[in-house]
Amino acid sequence: MNPMFYQNPVVLNKKEHKDWKIEAVEDYTFAKKTNSVYLMSAEFVLASKVYPIIFIRNDNAVVPIALLSLQEDNNQFVAPKGKGAWNADYIPAYVRRYPFIPANEKDGEKLILCIDSEYKGLNSRKAKQSLFDKDGKPDVVVKKAVNLLESYNVENKKTIDFCKIIDDLGLFENAQVEDPSLKSDNVKLTGFLHISHKKFTELNTEKVKSLFDSGALEFIYAHFQSLVNLKNLD
């Protein structure tokens, strides 16, 4: 199964794709049918100003997500008409990296860059940016994609570590969201987690200091502050 948003990711190479051109992503309708997206801990502070940050348990690990709507298959931050603009000051990195994606994310391995060959901005009438220069070397847009994905890989590992710290401390608890306005037929979202404020305030000094030393405190407070954004979702 392909990652969310990606229809047909292919490995980018200068022989097959030397003449390919791309237009910048301005239409986010590819993300219209999701009500959440993965979020890295490094994004919490900026994202908390717009989105509720919650967590889900995926197999044995906990991962953070930005909640985009209370309705399934809907992203209220993508404009329903026009060019599909993203109506928020901050766009999560998982969305911003599209149509590029790494083929591998293992430690010590060189990043292999892929691109969604079904991205409608590839080789389109408005596509002006070359993927490779005349010498077959990555052009500016590919270099930027590589830099973003390398940074993404580093921050993703830090996010995994952060969630494990919180999970090991037993701070996650089950939660649900209910639409109090009844605009969405009293929508309830279940199956996600949040950090228990009560359990957090009951931590002893030593554990709080360890959270401070690891940088986790900033992310915890950003998570708490983000929950006020639930009232803006429908």
Q: What is the pLDDT of residues 9-36, one digit of tens each?
A: 999 998 899 999 999 999 999 999 999 9
Residue 161 scores a pLDDT above 60 = yes
Residue 56 scores a pLDDT above 50 = yes
Structure confidence at residue 111 as a pLDDT band (50, 70, 90): confident
Q: 81-104 in b/e burial notation, b at 16+ Cβ within 10 A?
A: eeebebebebbbbbbebbbbbbee
CA dist., res. 149 & res. 36, Å (int) = 20
Residue 176 scores a pLDDT above 90 = no
CA dist., res. 234 & res. 22, Å (int) = 34
Q: What is the pLDDT of residue 178?
A: 65
Structure confidence at residue 182 as a pLDDT band (50, 70, 90): very low
Structure confidence at residue 94 as a pLDDT band (50, 70, 90): very high
Q: Are 12 and 99 in contact (CB under 8 A)?
A: no
CA dist., res. 65 & res. 83, Å (int) = 25
Phi, psi of 169 (to 5 degrees): -80, -5
Give the predicted TM-score (pTM) of the model.
0.89
